[in-house]
Structures are given as C-alpha cells and as structure tokens.
C-alpha cells in the first residue's frame, strides 16, 4: 500500500507488517527515519534497534528471522531496520516474507525508486507492506516547521530572523529540531525573537576556536557590507561545513555541527587556516567556497591524506 508519513503517524493500518522508506536524498531519509522512530516505534528509549544491510536478505536471512521471531529475554522486542534495498532485493524479500506469518513491525529503506520499479510496485500492491516516498521539504515547509517549533516554546520570530533561519536550514532541514530546541530553551520566557538573539545564542555555544575566527571576520567591514543577508556566524558555519567535508571529517550529528573544530589537523595547519581567513578578501572568500565545493567532489575517491594536501594547497593559494 502507498502511505505518507503524516497518515502513518495519525492512524497506522492495523495489518501493517513493514514500511519501505524511499528518497533521493540520504539526509531526508535519515531525518524521516528518525522522526518515525521517535514518534511511533521508539517511545521506549530502552528498545533495542538493529540496523542491518539489505544484502542479508540474500546472504543470511536466518539472522533476520531470528531477530524478528525470537522473544526477548527481557524488555521490548528489537526493532529491525533493513537499509539500502535495491531492485535486486525483491526476490529475496519475497522469500523472506513467506517465512513471516506474524512478526513485529520492521522498517526498510531504499534510494529513489521510480514508479516503474518492481520493488516499489510490490510494496504498493501489498496489503501489509507500506511504501512511503519521501521528498525534500520546500522553503515554505521549512519556514512553517521553524515557526511551529518556536511557537511550541512560546516564541515568535521577527521577520529577519525567520528569513535567516529558513535560508540557513534549506539544505539541512534535518537539523532544525536538534539545533533550534536548545535555542528555544535558551530563553526562559516567551520572547519575540530577533536576529541578534540567535547570534547571541550562537556566540554562547561556539567553540574557542570559532570565537577566535569570528573576531577576525567581525573586523572585516567588506564582509559586513557585502553580505547583509548572511551573518558572520552563518558564514563561518558554511565555510567550516565544506572544509570538514573536504577533509572527510563529518560534523557531529547530535546538534553541535556548528562548532568549528579541526581535531585531525596539525597545529601548523590550524594556524594556516586562521592566517588565510585574515588575509582573504571578500571575493577570495566566496571563491574559496566555490573551489572547496569543486575539490570536495574531486576528492571523494581520494584518501584522507590527499584531501589534506589539497586543503593546504587551497590555503597557500589564497594566503
């Protein structure tokens, strides 16, 4: 059957045995999966979760059967999540389901599946498996989500702040809750929030390194005047995000991804980074972002060492 997340939250079909989440974007998939777990199937925080690759359907289906059918020694049953199904998963999935007359609910994930996909058609035609297509949220949806979250804590955003936050979370909507809930809790009473309030909050949560870098950029009148719609903090976060991706160090997904830290860079490389920021002009900073994005794509197949070399070359180019 074809389902949508909102309908699943409100009234899950009683015969539902499993759902298959499908999306173009891995971040959208992860965010929707997290919401699904939190809203419906993981209210008990002690519930164990087993995330396994879909290839086990073919290579070790008995292991999956054991997880689903074995009664727990104590506590709630294990929630099984089968990840990254493809078209080749259909036959082993059908065979697997034949051995599951009754079992706990489980979840499957897949990349984008066209309307002509046999795997998608199978799930849509099934009476006990739901197919849920996921799409990236629109700008208006992101804005509505931000307003709704702030209003839950009694806050009302002024227009400049709402515009700023909406723009900031366009490509990271999955971080809205983890990053904005602490922001909401920062203010003890219902507040009409301004853009300066968010910048003040970010100043309180950024690392010492970030404060150091911020102090360099706050003195840059060219940045302040040429990018009025982009705060200094947002620019630091944007630059940091691409630098971390370039050297294959991922930001912390727990909600502290704005912290500027380089734990795997030598001291001399950190100094080079700070020196480059001091010296770059506005045009050079923006050009660096474009170059970083290009290098990021080119280094996906390279090693960490090669990425660090390219990063140092980038700094030397502009420093």
My answer on whether 285 and 229 are in the same domain is: yes
pLDDT at 263 over 70: no
| Cα–Cα nearest to 93, from 71, 135, 116, 121 | 121
My answer on whether 80 and 111 are in the same domain is: yes
My answer on whether 119 and 26 are in the same domain is: yes
Please answer whether residues 205 and 214 qualify as being in contact, where contact means their C-beta atoms are separated by less than 8 angstroms: no
My answer on whether 67 and 141 are in the same domain is: no
pLDDT at 260 over 50: no
Number of domains in the chain: 3
- DSSP assignment letter at 41: I
Q: How confident is the model at residue 2 (pLDDT cuts 50, 70, 90)?
A: confident
| 3-class secondary-structure state, position 43 | coil
The residue out of 171, 204, 237 marking a domain boundary is: 204
My answer on whether 11 and 129 are in the same domain is: yes
3-class SS letters over 101-115: CCCCCEEEEECCCCC
CA distance 126 to 232: 51
Mention every residue, 6+ apart, whose C-beta is less than 8 A from residue 43.
none
CA distance 137 to 173: 8
- DSSP assignment letter at 257: T
177-218 pLDDT, tens digit per residue, is: 777 887 888 887 888 999 888 877 766 654 444 444 444 445
Q: What is the dihedral of CA 197, 199, 205, 208, to 10 degrees?
A: -140
pLDDT (average), residues 58-78: 82
Please answer whether residues 106 and 82 qualify as being in contact, where contact means their C-beta atoms are separated by less than 8 angstroms: yes
Q: What is the DSSP string of 182-213?
A: HHHHTSSS--EE-HHHHHHHHHHHS-HHHHHH
Which pTM value belongs to this model?
0.50
Please answer whether residues 211 and 261 qualify as being in contact, where contact means their C-beta atoms are separated by less than 8 angstroms: no
| Cα–Cα nearest to 235, from 281, 289, 273 | 289
Q: Which domain holds residue 82?
A: 5-134
103-147 pLDDT, tens digit per residue, is: 778 899 998 888 899 999 999 999 889 999 887 778 898 999 999
My answer on whether 118 and 150 are in the same domain is: no
Residue 200's pLDDT is 74
The residue out of 88, 118, 134 marking a domain boundary is: 134
CA distance 208 to 194: 24
My answer on whether 124 and 174 are in the same domain is: no
Task: Please report, for the domain that includes residue 15, its CATH number.
Answer: 3.40.50.300
Task: Please report, for the domain that includes residue 189, its CATH number.
Answer: 1.10.8
| 3-class secondary-structure state, position 84 | strand
My answer on whether 91 and 118 are in the same domain is: yes
User: Cα separations (Å) of 26 from 112, 252, 289, 310?
Assistant: 10, 16, 23, 27
* pLDDT above 70: percentage of residues in the chain: 59
pLDDT at 95 over 60: yes
266-311 pLDDT, tens digit per residue, is: 344 445 555 555 555 555 555 555 555 554 444 444 444 444 455 5
The residue out of 111, 134, 157 marking a domain boundary is: 134
My answer on whether 305 and 246 are in the same domain is: yes
My answer on whether 82 and 59 are in the same domain is: yes
- Name the more confident of 233 and 165: 165
My answer on whether 264 and 306 are in the same domain is: yes
My answer on whether 235 and 305 are in the same domain is: yes
- Name the more confident of 170 and 116: 116
User: Cα separations (Å) of 209 from 7, 212, 214, 275?
Assistant: 45, 5, 8, 13
């Amino acid at each position: 059957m074809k389902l949508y997340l909102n309908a699943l939250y409100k009234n899950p079909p009683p015969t539902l045995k499993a759902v298959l989440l499908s999306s173009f974007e891995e971040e959208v998939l992860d965010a929707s999966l997290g919401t699904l777990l939190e809203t419906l199937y993981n209210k008990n925080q002690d519930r164990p979760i087993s995330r396994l690759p879909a290839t086990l359907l073919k290579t070790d289906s008995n292991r999956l059967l054991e997880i689903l059918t074995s009664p727990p020694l104590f506590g709630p049953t294990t929630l099984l999540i089968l990840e990254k199904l493809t078209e080749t998963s259909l036959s082993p999935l059908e065979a697997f389901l034949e051995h599951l007359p009754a079992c706990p609910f489980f979840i499957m994930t897949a990349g984008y599946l066209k309307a002509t996909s046999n795997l998608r058609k199978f799930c849509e035609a099934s009476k006990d498996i739901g197919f849920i297509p996921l799409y990236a949220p629109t700008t208006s949806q992101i804005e509505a989500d931000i307003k709704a979250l702030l209003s839950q804590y009694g806050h009302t955003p002024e227009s400049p702040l709402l515009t700023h936050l909406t723009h900031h979370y366009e490509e990271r909507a999955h971080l809205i809750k983890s990053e904005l809930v602490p922001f909401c809790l920062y203010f003890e009473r219902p507040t009409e929030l301004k853009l300066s309030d968010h910048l003040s909050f970010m100043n309180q949560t950024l690392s010492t390194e970030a404060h150091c870098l911020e102090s360099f950029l706050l003195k840059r009148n060219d940045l302040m005047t040429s990018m009025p719609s982009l705060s200094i903090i947002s620019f630091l976060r944007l630059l940091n995000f691409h630098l971390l991706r370039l050297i294959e160090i991922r930001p912390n997904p727990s909600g502290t991804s704005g912290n500027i830290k380089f734990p795997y860079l030598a001291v001399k490389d950190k100094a080079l980074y700070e020196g480059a920021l001091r010296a770059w002009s506005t045009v050079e900073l923006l050009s660096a972002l474009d170059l970083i994005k290009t290098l990021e794509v080119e280094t996906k197949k390279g090693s960490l060492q090669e990425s660090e070399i390219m990063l140092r070359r980038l700094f030397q180019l502009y420093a």
